[in-house]
Amino acid sequence: MKTINPATGEEIKEYDSMSKEKVEGILSSASHAFKSWKEKSFDQRAEYLIKVAKTLREQKAELAKLMAEEMGKPLAQGEGEVEKCAWVCEYYAEHAESFLEKQKIETDGSKSYITFNPLGTVLAIMPWNFPFWQLFRFAAPALMAGNAAILKHSENVTGCALKIEEIIHEAGIPEDLFRTLVVQVGEVKRIIQHKEIAAVTLTGSTRAGKAVASQAGEVLKKTVLELGGSDPYIILEDADIRQAAETCVTSRLINSGQSCIAAKRFIVMEEVYDDFLKEFTSILKEKTIGNPFDEETDIGPLAREDLRDDLHSQVQDSVLKGAKRYIGGEKPEGEGFYYPLTILTDVKPGMPAYEEELFGPVASFIKAGSEEEAIHIANDTKYGLGAAIFSADEEKAERIAAQELEAGCCFVNDFVKSDPRLPFGGIKESGYGRELGLYGIREFVNTKTVYVK
Contact indicator for 146, 38 with CB cutoff of 8 Å: yes
**Phi, psi torsion values for 320, nearest 5 degrees:** -60, -30
Closest CA to 303 of 255, 340, 343: 255
The rounded distance, in Å, linking the Cα atoms of 381 and 398 is 21
The 3-state DSSP class for residue 423 equals coil
Residue 260 designated active-site: yes
Per-residue DSSP letters for 37-74? HTTS-HHHHHHHHHHHHHHHHHTHHHHHHHHHHHH---
Q: Which residues contact 218 (CB under 8 A, 6 or more apart)?
A: 193
Catalytic residue among 226, 357, 429, 435: 226
Residue 69 designated active-site: no
SS3 content of the chain, % helix, strand, coil (to 5): 45, 20, 35
**Phi, psi torsion values for 234, nearest 5 degrees:** -95, 130
CA distances (Å), 298 to each of 29, 93, 290, 360, in order? 43, 33, 8, 13
Catalytic residue among 160, 248, 260, 410: 260
The rounded distance, in Å, linking the Cα atoms of 79 and 56 is 10
Contact indicator for 191, 185 with CB cutoff of 8 Å: no
Could you say which DSSP state residue 303 is in?
S
The 3-state DSSP class for residue 412 equals strand
Could you say which DSSP state residue 258 is in?
-
The rounded distance, in Å, linking the Cα atoms of 417 and 80 is 13
The rounded distance, in Å, linking the Cα atoms of 400 and 404 is 5
Contact indicator for 158, 4 with CB cutoff of 8 Å: no
Closest CA to 147 of 33, 44, 47, 46: 33
Q: Catalytic residue positions?
A: 226, 260
